[in-house]
């Protein structure tokens, strides 16, 4: 099965199969997410959970494939991604088999894009968001699309310190930027500081009281 589409102003073509997500046409949520992406040639982009390659290939057609990584846990999906990269004349994109971000060595992405399996439990999305934060440079962004709002908004806010949410046709696109200190890190640092101060000054206070 072959899909032809114009995405990000570029003509793209994909071979698909019945066993893959959205095999008969590009998923509306994916197109909505791509409409919120502003990629530049200097960006380093990760298509996390790439399926048959729509997101990564669409961005690569726009800015070139030299700084784009595409990953998935499925060998079959990656084989189809590689075929679609060749079909679209993109030889320089790096393709990695990875369970989430575990097998991806890079820690300098400026953009991480994902359409996670949101009909499953939240464990996959949780790992994507938490590990994705660690792999972004300061000022880097994670952009994700799902059909669920509350859990994702809360998770992005707790990890990134904030998130922008866009809605269309029942899909939600989350755009979160990595800042200097997120709320989780800030809270942990305050807790560590409080314990240090307690040990330093609390102990002395007890000693002085006893000596008096």
pLDDT digits (tens, 9 = 90+) for 107-122: 999 999 999 986 667 9
**Strands across the sheet with 136-146, in order?**
94-97, 68-72, 45-48, 109-114, 136-146, 171-177, 164-168
Rounded Cα distance between 18 and 1, Å, is 8
Residues above pLDDT 70, as percent of the chain:
80
pLDDT digits (tens, 9 = 90+) for 3-37: 888 987 889 999 987 555 665 678 899 999 999 99
Q: How far is CA 120 from CA 30, 50, 125, 126, 154, in A?
A: 18, 17, 9, 12, 18
Question: What mean pLDDT do residues 192-198 have?
Answer: 62
pLDDT of residue 199 exceeding 80: no
Question: How many helices and strands (H and E) does the chain possess?
Answer: 7, 9
Q: For the chain, what is the mean pLDDT?
A: 87
Residues pairing with 144 in the sheet: 114, 174
Rounded Cα distance between 137 and 151, Å, is 25
* pTM (2 d.p.): 0.83
**Structure confidence at residue 207 (pLDDT):** 39
pLDDT digits (tens, 9 = 90+) for 86-109: 999 999 999 999 999 999 999 999
Question: What mean pLDDT do residues 161-186 have?
Answer: 87
From the centroid of its chain, how far is CA 54?
15
């Amino acid at each position: 099965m072959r899909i032809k589409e114009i995405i990000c102003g570029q003509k793209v073509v994909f071979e698909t199969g019945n066993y893959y997500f959205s095999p008969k046409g590009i998923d509306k949520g994916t197109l909505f997410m791509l409409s919120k992406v502003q990629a530049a040639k200097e960006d380093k982009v990760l298509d996390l959970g790439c399926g048959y390659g729509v997101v990564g290939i669409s961005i690569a057609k726009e800015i070139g494939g030299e700084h784009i990584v595409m990953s998935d846990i499925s060998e079959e999906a990656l084989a189809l991604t590689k075929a679609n990269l060749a079909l679209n004349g993109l030889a320089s994109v790096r393709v990695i088999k990875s369970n989430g971000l575990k097998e991806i060595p890079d820690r300098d992405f400026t953009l991480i894009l994902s359409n996670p399996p949101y009909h499953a439990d939240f464990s996959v999305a949780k790992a994507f968001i938490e590990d994705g934060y660690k792999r972004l440079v300061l000022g880097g962004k994670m952009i994700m699309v799902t059909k669920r709002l509350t859990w994702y908004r809360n998770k992005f806010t707790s990890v990134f310190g904030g998130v922008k949410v866009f809605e269309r046709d029942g899909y939600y696109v989350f755009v979160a930027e990595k800042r200097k200190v997120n709320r989780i890190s800030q809270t942990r640092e305050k807790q560590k500081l409080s314990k240090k101060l307690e040990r330093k000054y609390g102990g002395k206070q007890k000693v002085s009281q006893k000596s008096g």
